[in-house]
């Protein structure tokens, strides 16, 4: 599962664009499919990174607000493109 909340394909069930990022949930879901030790270890590290980023963002509310604003602008632009 990848981060692609704004993508709504016009036909079929698949996006015509490749996704570039995974959400935290997507990483965990992928780990359930990849059943080897390395995948398990990498999943733990990636989830730890998400947790760290969340902690950092909570310490800098101004930056978090700016990122949120940029995300909204990006979603609007993506919707205009699609």
Does residue 75 have a pLDDT over 50?
yes
Residue 79 to residue 67: CA distance in whole angstroms: 18
Q: Is the pLDDT of residue 73 over 50?
A: yes
pLDDT tens per residue across span 1-48: 444 455 555 555 666 666 666 777 888 888 788 888 888 888 889 889
* 9 Cβ contact partners less than 8 Å away, ≥ 6 residues apart: 15, 16
Task: Give the pTM.
Answer: 0.50
Q: What is the pLDDT of residue 16?
A: 66
Mean pLDDT for the stretch of residues 47-65: 86
Domain boundaries, the chain: 45-82
């Amino acid at each position: 599962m990848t981060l692609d909340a704004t993508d709504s394909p016009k036909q079929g069930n698949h996006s015509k664009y490749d996704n570039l990022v995974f959400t935290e949930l997507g990483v965990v879901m992928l780990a359930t499919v990849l059943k080897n030790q390395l995948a398990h270890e990498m999943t733990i590290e990636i989830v730890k990174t998400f947790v760290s980023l969340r902690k950092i963002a909570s310490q800098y509310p101004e930056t978090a607000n700016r990122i949120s604003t940029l995300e909204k602008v990006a979603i609007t632009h993506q919707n205009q493109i699609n």
